[in-house]
Amino acid sequence: MEQRRGPIRKLVSAARAAVRRPDLVRNRILGALNYWPVTRLRNERLRKVPYFCINLEKDVQRRKLAERQARTMGLEDFRIFKGIVGVKLDIDQLIADGIYDDAAARRYHGRPLSPAEIGLSLSHANIYKTIVEEGLDEAVILEDDVLFQPRNLDAVDWSAIPDDFDVVFLHAQLDQKPPRGRIADRIYSDESYLASTVAYLVSRKGAEKLAKGAFPVVHAADGLVGRAMPWHGDTPHEFRQQGVNFDLKSYILYPEGALNGSTCHFIGSSISF
């Protein structure tokens, strides 16, 4: 009898989880099918802006999913950007060349960055340089586990975003929902930002700042942008303005215009960057 209770308890637990979070069950099913439903993007600005999607050559399924979303949404300039494989990096040589500052990473994080973190940071940094070199006014940077939510993107009044922005996060991990610092409908300050670089719009000015501030690598990609956010408190912030020499004018869209597939039970996290 006890042996039967084990599977029954698991089924009951799964049923309860499905009732509490049906979206997670949906995401797991869609993830198994490698399919994410999107609609055509009506916002002309977001259809025409260049998109850079970081992807490893081996991650074919992720690449196909990202490209399928881009086609359905009608994105006019969608580029797969070859990611740097962290496990193939010569960390000692990066330190010797001044590309990665291991001592600073240990000082700020209490440990060295993993090869995956270094590879992904370098991938983002290479896109910043590309935006600057091509003279692009703005571009969207993506990681290949992005899941777009076009309706949320279309609902934003983009004219309400200050013209001098550096970064606008289409997705962000937050310390509360909705975020603090409402500026306009669906546009918030960066006050509630915790992490995420899965999808964000960068201006040329922002790319110039990030291209300079990304080297030597000391932080993970989301750690760099988070630390570059301004802080005006009387006491030091946990991470803002810690280990950076520049600041970003950044904003958050909420409800978010994209999801992180690796954290919403859609797709497994890739650790080989």
pLDDT of residue 270: 60
Name the average pLDDT for the chain.
92
Low-confidence ranges of the chain (pLDDT < 70): 1-20, 269-273
* Tokens coding 102: 């291991």
End-to-end CA distance of the chain, in Å? Answer: 48
User: Do 217 and 118 form a contact (C-beta atoms < 8 A)?
Assistant: yes
Q: Are 188 and 152 in contact (CB under 8 A)?
A: no
Strand order of the β-sheet with 78-82 is 78-82, 51-55, 138-143, 199-203, 167-169, 250-253, 187-189, 182-184
User: What pLDDT sits at residue 134?
Assistant: 98
For the stretch 6-21, pLDDT in tens is 556 644 454 464 566 7
Round to whole Å and give the CA distance between 28 and 140: 26
What pLDDT is stored for residue 10 in this prediction? Answer: 44
Alpha carbons within 13 A on the beta-carbon side of 139: 26
Nearest to 148 by CA among 217, 73, 232, 234: 73
How far apart are alpha carbons 156 and 87 in whole angstroms? 39
Q: What is the distance, to the nearest Å, from the Cα of residue 194 to the centroid of all Cα atoms in its chain?
A: 11
Amino acid 14: pLDDT:
43
CA distance 117 to 57: 17
Over the stretch 145-200, which tens digit does the pLDDT of each residue have? 999 999 999 999 999 999 999 999 999 999 999 999 999 999 999 999 999 999 99
Instruction: Look at residue 193 in the predicted model and tell me its pLDDT.
Output: 98
The single-letter code of the amino acid at 15 is: A
Helix or strand (DSSP H, E) at 148:
strand 146-148
Six-digit token string for 226: 């988070």
- 3-state class of 161 per DSSP? coil
What span, in angstroms and rounded, lies between the C-alpha atoms of 76 and 63? 17
Determine the pLDDT at residue 165. 98
